[in-house]
Structure 1
Amino acid sequence: MESSWLETRWARPLYLAFAFCLALGLLQAIKLYLRRLRLLRDLCPFPAPPTHWFYGHQKLLQDGKIEKLEELVEKYPCAFPYWVGPFQAFFYIYDPDYAKTFLGRTDPKSKYLYKFLIPCLGNGLVNLEGSKWFQHRCLLTPGFNVNILKSYIKVMAHSVNTMLGKWEKICGTQDTVVEVFEHINLMTLDVLMKCAFSQETNCQISSNHDLYVKTTFEASKINFYRLYSFLHHHDIIFKFSPQGHRLQELVKILHQYTEKVIQDRKKLLKDEKKHGNTQKRKDQDYLDIILSAQAENGNSFSDTDLRSEVNTFILAGHDTMAGSISWLLYHLALNPEHQERCRQEIRGILRDRSSITWDQLGEMSYTTMCIKESLRLAPPIPSISRELSKPITFPDGRSLPAGITVVLSIWGLHHNSAIWENPKVFDPLRFSQENSDQRHTHSFLPFSAGPRNCIGQHFAMVKLKVAIALILLHFKVSPDPTRPLVFLHQIVLKPKNGVHLHLKKLP
């Protein structure tokens, strides 16, 4: 009688391996099921939108439509759980008391979003935690002191005027519709490269840098898609997906750009040393600060750290600034009475139009209110997230345990009708001194708050003032009603189809 197949030598190990894998799979399924039960229990005090048993709320925000988020903010006071698949939930908050409690802690960055950004940014200020983050923050803060910012004013003005020269050629004396976001994107990259890295890229005139700008846009889109696609949270699954393959290609382009910036400066310093020209430049730029930090802290500030911080500054800096200037211009186009009042204020301050100074920026009180109102309506970074390292209790008594990922929706906070009357209306007087003093300290957070607030926020405000002052002196802007602005709620706020405006050259 022949032996059964289980009794053969080759079948027995295969059977045992199958049984072992089955047991492991069962244990993992039990673990995931218990995780779901625990999350349901922990999030029970907070009402949530109807959810699909498998996809969760994935399709609510994955397409980047901002209107859906506004509906949820209106319907669920303070906060709501957002399920990404059956076993993972993010906890969205948009109440100033919740935000104050949340930002007053030192929880680590979310392992989801910020881990996904590492291939593009590396481990710079955005992603670092603990003592290493504190070290980098201390080393890089001198790059944003007042004296350095003052030295950037002329450089910024020159780059803005280059863009205005392009617009004059396009428009002539006619009222012409222009897609301004592309131009502003290149202009902010030009400013960043000149101010932070002392590089004359000619990127506004040469088309060589279009690839870098388009690459950042596409990489941001892929990372946002991954955040709300729970299957792609697993590195192996994402790596072998079409989006994962494409991101690897994009990351190579971004890193080549960064590496060239660093190597060009190192070559310059080497040549200066070779020819005996070791005198320090009067105005150190951001890259000087980073290289000095590396020279003084070689053991704790590696070449990888250097690349990460340069990556972070270029990517985070130019992308957010391009959006902020574009949204401000669009909001002023929609509100011509506020645009004209800004223009009159700027004319009164600059007079001859030939230059702009640091002190003059401080006199632009109404323009500053318009800038803040635009940042309220369209915060460049729509949300930030942390993973709770210990339980948190909110002012209303409701609590969450450690391990939950909390997302502070800055967009939701800025459009919360419980804080802002008629939140969709552009009203710069919200930011008058009197109104600001009466408002909650954590109701307006375009640059976040607490110890991890935006290190470049003063640089950003200076750039916004310089750009809008020079633009309004030379052009009147009005919207194109056939192509309204559509926001894409991604990691950085983006325009879905560009920003189309009527530009009319002023005499």
Structure 2
Amino acid sequence: MQCTEEGLLQVDDLVQRYTHSCSWFLGPFYHLVRLFHPDYVKPLLMAPASITVKDELIYGHLRPWLGQSLLLCNGEEWSRRRRLLTPAFHFDILKNYVTKFNTSTNIMHDKWRHLVAKGTTNVEMFDHVTLMTLDSLLKCAFSYNSNCQWSASEYVSALVELSDLIIDRRQKILHHWDWFYWKTQQGKQFRKALNVVHRYMCDNNDEDGQGLTDEEIQAEANTFMFAGHDTTASAICWTLYNLARHGHYQEQCRQEVMDLMQGRDRHEIEWEDLSNLPFTTMCIRESLRLHSPVQAVTRKYTQDIALPEDRTVPKGAISLVSIYGTHHNPAVWTNPHEFHPLRFDPTNTAGRASHAFIPFSSGPRNCIGQKFALAELRVVVALTLLRFRLTLGVNPQLGSRSGGVRRLPQLVLRAEGGLWLQLERSD
């Protein structure tokens, strides 16, 4: 579904129509409940992991790629995986990644300086930022310098192709059946791209039998690359877009970063700096609300789940938690389509429902990498604003400034025809 920035009528009407809470679809093959309000979302996301199941209708197409990874497994298997992987996202580990975030961002900015010097100032953000987050993630997860920002990469091309093929498969009902799909041209392309991606993954594990097996490591490595680069790239692009649209907020962020860098010989963001960027962080959070990279998550439950107003989600029904609907619900947010970072000023958050803002989901099965993503977001946005001024660019496909951008919800939120910004050096 594509939605214009100005109207977004189809989605917004849906939020309004169901009194800002939920809607029900009772079909012949499955039951679907869609939820748009924090009071209805909370019981589902906070339900124990032991009764929470990832449904095959939405997530099944990812299984050939991601296997029985943390994203897709359930029950005791999920608990074991989560317990083993959580230490990898401890603050002490994340501190070491900040240097790598700086390094990958510097490479991207060198490319931008080169383009500007040649007279190219109108730049499509997703192309550049996605390569940067891939480069950064490969450095952090595998200590692997891919050089993918400068040179064509078979692995990067395969990742992009897999994502596109999954979206294509979801839209073709006959392709939902494996026995049919693997015989099609698209299925054969998927297998070919999958072989490329799997060749790049780590294959070492603990030898005491208590850690992850080789197969489990491969599944988690694939999941980390899939979930860790595209979502973060989307969040960075939309944050830069929102700041390009609102120059006064952009200048306020830039001044905050310049003040932080005062007196330093090297302009790099350090771990300790992340907590000293309060306004920039507010802008990032507001962008995550307005343009959440993941638009919805789905769940199934092995028992009935009680909701407010004596409603019940029946056992086995697919529950679609609309992150978009919750973040744009007029019963929760005043003027929900406006970019207003001060919503996230600590003085303005008192009394807000705990599940009004859920860009990383919530509860036991929330995003394990959210601290990693937020750290990278702050580093990339801060360094970008320190070195460049951003204004809306011209989308060649639409022939207009990017203020008229069309959202393109795929595996993550992208923009139809790309997200084009105009770059001007400020360093």
Find the aligned partners of 1:235 and 1:206 in 2 and give their Cα distance.
Answer: 35
The question of whether the paired residues in 2 share the 8 Å contact of 1:178 and 1:503 is answered with yes
Query: SS of the counterpart of 2:122?
Result: strand
1:367 counterpart (239, 255, 280): 280
Q: How does 1:302-317 map to 2 (within 5 A)?
A: 302-317=213-228
Q: CA deviation at 1:357?
A: 1.5
1:461 counterpart (367, 374, 392): 374
Looking at secondary structure, tell me which structure has more helix per residue.
1
1:346 counterpart (220, 237, 257): 257
The structure with the larger Rg is 1
1:357 aligns with 2:270: yes
Q: Sort the Cα spacing of 1:64 and 1:216 in 2 relative to 1 into closer, same or farther, 3 A.
A: farther
Q: Sort the Cα spacing of 1:134 and 1:143 in 2 relative to 1 into closer, same or farther, 3 A.
A: same
Q: How does 1:106-255 map to 2 (within 5 A)?
A: 106=49, 107-172=52-117, 176-207=121-152, 209=153, 211-227=154-170, 229-255=172-198
The equivalent of 1:499 in structure 2 is 419
What amino acid is the match of 1:99?
Answer: V
Looking at secondary structure, tell me which structure has more strand per residue.
2
2:207 counterpart (275, 278, 295): 295
Q: How does 1:382-393 map to 2 (within 5 A)?
A: 382-393=295-306
The equivalent of 1:43 in structure 2 is none
The question of whether the paired residues in 2 share the 8 Å contact of 1:185 and 1:213 is answered with no
Q: Sort the Cα spacing of 1:423 and 1:182 in 2 relative to 1 into closer, same or farther, 3 A.
A: same
1:477 aligns with 2:361: no
Find the aligned partners of 1:336 and 1:197 in 2 and give their Cα distance.
Answer: 38
Find the aligned partners of 1:505 and 1:223 in 2 and give their Cα distance.
Answer: 38
Find the aligned partners of 1:255 and 1:72 in 2 and give their Cα distance.
Answer: 40
Residues 345-370 of structure 1 show CA distances to partners (whole Å, capped at 9, x for unaligned) of 11111223523211111010000000
The question of whether the paired residues in 1 share the 8 Å contact of 2:89 and 2:369 is answered with yes
Identity %: 39
Find the aligned partners of 2:224 and 2:104 in 1 and give their Cα distance.
Answer: 18
The equivalent of 1:409 in structure 2 is 322
Q: Sort the Cα spacing of 1:75 and 1:242 in 2 relative to 1 into closer, same or farther, 3 A.
A: farther
Q: CA deviation at 1:215?
A: 3.2
Find the aligned partners of 2:311 and 2:167 in 1 and give their Cα distance.
Answer: 30
Q: How does 1:41-52 map to 2 (within 5 A)?
A: none
Find the aligned partners of 1:127 and 1:399 in 2 and give their Cα distance.
Answer: 25
1:332 aligns with 2:252: no
With the length of structure 1 as denominator, give the TM-score of the two structures.
0.77
The question of whether the paired residues in 2 share the 8 Å contact of 1:220 and 1:492 is answered with no
The equivalent of 1:437 in structure 2 is 350
Structure 2 spans left out of the alignment, 5+ residues: 395-399
The equivalent of 1:489 in structure 2 is 409
**Which shifted more, 382-391 or 307-316?**
382-391
Query: SS of the counterpart of 2:308?
Result: coil
With the length of structure 2 as denominator, give the TM-score of the two structures.
0.90
The question of whether the paired residues in 1 share the 8 Å contact of 2:30 and 2:318 is answered with no
Q: CA deviation at 1:499?
A: 1.4
Find the aligned partners of 2:59 and 2:41 in 1 and give their Cα distance.
Answer: 19
The question of whether the paired residues in 1 share the 8 Å contact of 2:388 and 2:423 is answered with yes
Q: CA deviation at 1:337?
A: 0.7
Find the aligned partners of 2:34 and 2:159 in 1 and give their Cα distance.
Answer: 26
Q: Sort the Cα spacing of 1:359 and 1:249 in 2 relative to 1 into closer, same or farther, 3 A.
A: same
